[in-house]
Structure 1
Amino acid sequence: MPLISPWRADFPAIDALQRQGQTYLDSAATTQKPQALLDALMHYYCNGAANVHRAQHLPGAHATQAFEASRSKVSHWLNAADSGQIIFTHGATSALNLLAYGLEGVFSAGDEIAISALEHHANLLPWQQLAQRRNLKLVILPLDAHGLIDLDAASALIGPNTRLLAVSQFSNVLGAWQPLPRLLALARAQGALTVVDGAQGVVHGRHDVQALGCDFYVFSSHKLYGPEGLGVIYAGNEALPKLAHWQFGGEMVLTADYRHAEFRAAPLGFEAGTPPIASVIGLGATLDYLDSLDQRAVADHEAQLHKRLLEGLQQRDRVRVLGAPELALVSFVVEGVHNADLAHLLTEQGIAVRAGHHCAMPLLKHLGLPGAIRVSLGLYNDSDDLLRLFSALDQSLELLA
C-alpha cells in the first residue's frame, strides 16, 4: 500500500527536483524548505532589510521585532524557561566551538572531557583541541553491539575528574537515540557540565530541555527545515554564567574605550557582529509551520517510512546495515563494493544519497570501513521515493556483481 506524505506539496523544491529526475534522500545533511520559510525570507528582503538592535528607524525596528520573536519561538519549541537562554550562532559547528572556547576557563590541567565514540566531527574536534590547549584528558565512551553508548563503560569512565560530558542525542551515522537520561545523570552526579549535540535529534519530535536536564543543547537550523548558516544554543541558567565571551566586536559590547571594555550578558553578549538576521527570521517561520502540523501524524509517517526503508535494505543480499537504526536514516555497506562506486551509480540514476564517512571518521575507522552509504528521510518523502531507491540499488548491484 503506498505511503503518501500529506506535506510534500508544502516543499516546492521536492517537485522541482523530481522534474529534474532527482529523488532526494539526504535530509540528514540538509533538509528542503517549506513554502512558509520562503515566504518569510521574501517578505523580509522585499520590505526592507535592516540590522537588528542598533537602528532606531522603522526597518530596523521591524527586523529587531521579527528577530526577537524568532528567539521566543525557539525557546517555546525547546520549552526553555526564558528566551534569554537562546543564543544564535552561525551554525551548530560554530555553537560547539563557542562552548569549547567559552568554557575553557572552567578547566584545569588533568581534568577530563568525556565524549562518545560516535560523535560528529563538530562535537569531537572542538573538545579535542581544547584538551590539547589546556592539557586535559579526552575520554572516549565506547559503544555497545547495537551502536549505543555503553552505559556500563560510561559509569566507569565518568568519574570525579570529569568536568564535561558532550554527546550526541541521535547518531547521524547509526540512526539511534542515545541513552541521554542515564548519561546525563552520571555526569551530574560528578558535578560535570553537559552538552547535547541535538543537530539530528531536534528534527524528530519535540524535546523538552528542562526535562532533559542538560546544561547546553545545540542544533542547526538547516537540518530542521530552516535556513542555512544558523545554529542555536540553549544554555541553562546555572551554566550560563560559566560561559566566557569568546568573539568580540559590534553589538556584544556594553562600553568600550581604547584600553578597556565591558560586555553584554547573554544572549546578545555572545552574538558579536551582524547576526544571520534573515535566517533567524526564517527559522521562526519554519517553527510556526512545524508547530501547525499534527505531530502524531508526522511521527507515524516517519516511523512507517523508516520501517519500509530498513526492511527493503535487509531483504537484499550483500547489504549490511550499520548498527540498529531506529528512525530517519539508515547507513549501509555492500559486501565487496566500495561505497564511492555504489554512490556514483546511484547518482547517475538520480538518487541523492550520502556516501563517505559522514563527518564521523573515527567511528567508521572503528567499524573497519572506508565509508558507507546513508539514506536519510524527511517528512516530505514517501514510498515512491523508496521504490525508486530500491530499483536503482538493484540495477547498481547487478552492474557491480
Structure 2
Amino acid sequence: MNDLLPLWIVLGVLLVVGLVTLGTVSVRRRRRDVVEPPPAAPVEPPESREPAGAPPGTATEGPPVAEEVPAAAPAVERPEPVGGRLVRLRERLARSGSPLGARLLSVLSRDHLTEEDWDELEETLLLADVGAGPAGELIDALRTKVRVLGVRDAASVRDLLRTELVALVDPSLDRSLATSPRAGEDGSPVPAVVLVVGVNGTGKTTTVGKLARVLVAEDRSVVLGAADTFRAAAADQLETWGSRVGVPTVRSDRDGADPAAVAFDAVRRGRTEGADVVLVDTAGRLQNKQGLMDELGKIRRVITKEAPLSEVLLVLDATTGQNGLNQARVFGEVAGVTGIVLTKLDGTARGGIVVAVQRELGVPVKLVGLGEGPDDLAPFDAEQFVDGLLGD
C-alpha cells in the first residue's frame, strides 16, 4: 500500500497538468475564432486635380466636385414664315376638285347658255353661301360680258369668271391686322390689343394660339390672356400654345373667375413688359344668349380702361353657312367686330361665305384656317382664294 502511494501522486500531478494544458488550448482556439476587423486603409492626401481649362500644372487640392447638369429648358419652336401659307389653301382647294369653281366653269363653257343655265349658275352660287344679293350681281355681270364678248372657249370663260369673282371678294378691302404698339397719353408704349370672340366650337382658342405663332414668326412679342374662365381646359390649352413659342399666358387660378378681370390683367402685364401685342381669348357664347353677350360688352369696356382695342376678331366656322351670318350680325353689334377669321375653309365647298359675311358686316375676312397644323392660319388674299376655287 505504501508502495502505491507515490504512483497515485504521480498520476494526480499528470492529471492536473493535462487539464491545465487542455484549458489553454481551448482558450487559444476561441481567440482564433473571433473575427478581427481588417486594418484601416492608410489615409492618403486628397488627389490634386486641374481645373477645367487651366494650364497644365495648375492644380487645386480637394476631392473632385460633382458638376451639376442644368435641367434642359423646354424647346421653343420657331413658327413657319407667314409668306406663302395661302398657297397651301390654293393647292388644297384645287386638289379637292373645288365644286363651286368646277360647276361654274362647266356651265359657262356650254355652246348656248339658256335661261335654265343661268338659273343653274345662280343656284350654284346660292348653295355656296354667296348670298342672294352678291349672286345676282355676279350673274348680271356675267350675262352682259358673255353676250358682248361672245366668249366660249374654256380659257376665256375662266378668265372672265375669275375677274368677276375677284371683284366680288373685293381685293380693295384692308385685310391687314392692327398689331403695332402705339404711344399712350404719357408717352409710354401701349401694346396692340386683339380681342377674339365667337360661338362655341368655332376654334377660338386654337385660333388665338395659331395667331400667336403668326405674330412670333413676324418677330412680335406677345402676351396671351385666357379670359375663357368657364373651362379650365381652355386656359390649359392656351398656355400650351404659348409655351411652345415662348409666349406667357395670363390666367386665373380658379374656375369661374371674372373674365373681364383676367383680360384686364393680361393687358396690364403686356403694357408693363412692353409687349407688342396682347391676344385675349374669350369663352364661346351663343349669339342669342343676352347675358353672355352683355358679359362680352363688359370685357370690352374693362379692357379699354387700360388700353384701346386694336382689333376685335370674330371666328366663324366656314361650314355653318347662313347661320354664321346670324352670328356675325349679333357679334358685330355687341363687340364691334373689325375682322373675320374663317376656320375650316379648306374642307368646304361653301367658299361663298367669304363674300356673304363681308357684305353682312362690312368688315373684311382677314385670316383663314387651312387645316389642323400649328401653322395652318394664313392672311387672306382674294386673288389666291379665287384661283383655288377655280382649280388653278
TM-score category, normalised to shorter length: 0.3 to 0.5
Structure with higher Rg: it is 2
In the superposition, the TM-score normalised over structure 1's length comes to 0.33
Q: Which has the higher helix share?
A: 2
Q: Which has the higher strand share?
A: 1
